[in-house]
Amino acid sequence: MSLSQAPEGLAAATGFALSGYTPPPKRKWHREIHLAAVVCLAAVYGALLALFASSLLVELLAPLALFALMLVWILPDTENPPATLMVGCFWGFLVAQLLWPDYLALDLPGLPWITALRLFSFPLLLLFLICLSVSPSMRGEMTRILKSAPWTWKLLVGFMIMAVLSVGYSDNPGNSADKVVVAVLYWMLIFFAAAYIFARPGRMTAFVWLLWAAALILCLMGLWEQRLGRLPWAGHIPSFLAVGDESVQRILGGSARSATGVYRVQGKFSTSLNLAEFLSLVTPFILHFMVVSRHWIVRIAAAMMLPLIFIVIVATDSRLGIVGFSLSFLFYLFFWGYRRRATHRDSLIGTAVLFAYPAVLIAFMASTMFVPRISAMVWGNGAQQASNEARQEQYRAGIPMVVERPWGYGMGRGSTRLGFFNPAGVGTIDTYVLAVALEVGIPGLICYFGMVGTAIHAGARAVQNARDRETQLLIPLVIALANFVVIKTILSQLDNHPLVFAMLGATVALVYRVKNATADAGADTVLPKANS
């Protein structure tokens, strides 16, 4: 009904109320000013990218990242998120991490290296955020998974917050920001994605088979490399992958211990120490298969795999690999006795193993001190003395620096500020404990190792209630994480960090599954009584 058709009184009242109102004139120049401002902003932003992309790419892309996050946030809810694509990117990332040398990458002008890990991690990040944004059921399940081991993810988030804050007081903010982005993509993202993905039955078993396959391939290639005395692919890299960086050339040149001149096998990693660390992380899983598998073929294959791993670790000439390999057996013996006592209370074997364990541990420690060959492999001899002295000197110089500045010097700046260099002239820190303390301070150090420690604690407590074979993989997971903590006291390199954070997420996922199964079993025993 129009105003002219309204009753006479209503029309008069409306006319009185609007008598002094006139609509504002349409000013088209507002739209032109807005368009001109957008064009100018785009021109300035493009110029900054063209001029400073090589040095400030991360900082310049930050506004685009925030804009992408806003778009993801406003997506409508649905129960059909791209979860399959996300899982595919996650598996692709793991395969790239385990088998592809990360230093073989596309090096395009004005862009950072396009590595295999980056090709999978960026799509994985986008797909993971989209799934969280659009799927209420995924958000609910993710919340329940993380609640099963709350301190682990909270300490991880705390560490990342301190890493981000460290960019502000770093003497090289651009370099620190690059390190933070790597930590977000390769550590934090992988942890949360693994926690969600490995909560589904069957996926953890597939992960362990992938670890075994990767270890077998790397061991066979390690034997080939030892025979050649160089990396098999050195000199045969396609031109589009040949990165001319000096660090890559140094990796391809291989390494040998200066005191002996013996070539050290390094595989697809940047150093032989990282290959030894990887093999010591895989050893508990192979040992677990040898002990619990129902198929005799798998047990025999695992029993043959363990000597192969040991041979390749010896070829790396790495003490930390020997330590990790030996600790895998010692830790597994303890967990086997612990679980045996929890599940077979009428059996004396588990109790006997636990009571005899201190004697076994003391005997092992004594052998490392008094048996010359074992002592040389674990503690080193004259050939390793320079490494021992360098580590001691780093602690003497680094601890006062940490006390002087307990909040750290910035992510990725620890080795530069410490000022120690290896024979190749590259800044280095031999222990990750000191590296973390120098970079993100004492609070960051507590968060980092507390994160791993709480995951080990949660996994160890859940072991006794693990009933199915997949959740029993908590045993090798906890042992691998314990090996990692020990190794990080003498190694600061980060090649295996993405794998370790996947193991952290897997631990949280299996703890969640054990608690769910325990709660369901408790409900099944209570309900019949209530019905009766």
**CA–CA separation, 168 vs 158, rounded Å?**
16
Q: Is the dihedral of CA 136, 141, 147, 150 positive or negative?
A: negative
pLDDT of residue 336: 86
The closest of 306, 305, 304, 286 to 476, measured between CA atoms, is: 286
- φ, ψ of residue 427 to 5 degrees: the values are -60, 140
Rounded to an integer, what distance in angstroms lies between the CA atom of residue 296 and that of residue 518?
30
32: tokens are: 């032109």
* DSSP H helix total and E strand total for the chain: 20, 0
Strand ranges (DSSP E) for 269-386? none
Residue 209 CA to residue 360 CA, distance in Å, equals 31
The dihedrals phi and psi of 114, each to the nearest 5 degrees, come to -95, 90
Question: Which residues, at least 6 apart from 457, have a Cβ–Cβ distance to it below 8 Å?
Answer: none
CA distances from 418 to 394, 409, 421, 493 (A): 8, 10, 9, 16
State whether residue 528 is helix, strand or coil.
helix
Which amino acid makes up residue 444? G
> What pLDDT is recorded for position 531?
42
Q: Tell me if residue 114 falls in helix, strand or coil.
A: strand
- Cβ atoms within 10 A of the Cβ of 182, count? 19
pLDDT, one tens digit per residue, over 374-399 is: 666 766 665 566 677 777 888 888 89
* Nearest one of 437, 436, 440, 424 to 497, comparing CA atoms: 436
Q: Which of 217, 249, 245 is nearest to 230 (CA)?
A: 249
- Retrieve residue 377's tokens: 């492999």
Q: Say how far apart CA 476 and CA 371 lie, in whole Å.
A: 28
**Which candidate, 144, 194, 142, 154, places its Cα nearest to that of 450?**
154
Segments in the chain below pLDDT 70:
1-30, 49-62, 109-111, 242, 258-259, 370, 374-376, 378-386, 422-426, 520-532
Q: Which two tokens stand for residue 376?
A: 């040389």
**Residue at 131: amino acid letter:** C
Dist CA 153 CA 96 (whole Å): 25
3-state secondary structure 28-97: HHHHHHHHHHHHHHHHHHHHHHHHHHHHHHHHHHHHHHHHHHHHHHCCCCCCCCCHHHHHHHHHHHHHHH
Torsion sign over Cα 319, 321, 325, 331: positive
Beta bridge partners of 256: 263
458 in helix, strand or coil?
A: helix
| Structure token pair of residue 35 | 């368009």
Q: Which two tokens stand for residue 81?
A: 């998120």
CB-CB contact of 219 with 308 (8 Å): yes
Question: Which pLDDT score is estimated for 109?
Answer: 66
Cβ atoms within 10 A of the Cβ of 297, count?
8
Q: pTM here?
A: 0.86
Report residue 369 as tokens. 């001190």
- List pLDDT tens digits, range 15-27: 544 455 555 555 5
Supply the angle between the helices 150-169 and 136-147 in degrees, to the nearest 10.
100
d(CA 58, CA 150): 31
| Cβ contact 254:246 at 8 Å | no
Among 372, 445, 457, smallest CA distance to 402 is for 445
d(CA 303, CA 352): 25
List the structure tokens of 26: 């349409």
The region, left, alpha or beta by phi > 0 then psi within -120 to 50, assigned to residue 6 is beta
Could you tell me how far CA 508 lies from the centroid of its own chain?
13
Amino acid identity of residue 203, one-letter, is R
Task: Please report which residue ranges of 344-431 form alpha helices under DSSP H.
Answer: 348-370, 372-378, 385-404, 414-418
Inter-axis angle of helices 150-169 and 189-197, nearest 10:
160
Cα 26 to Cα 114: distance, rounded to the nearest angstrom: 51
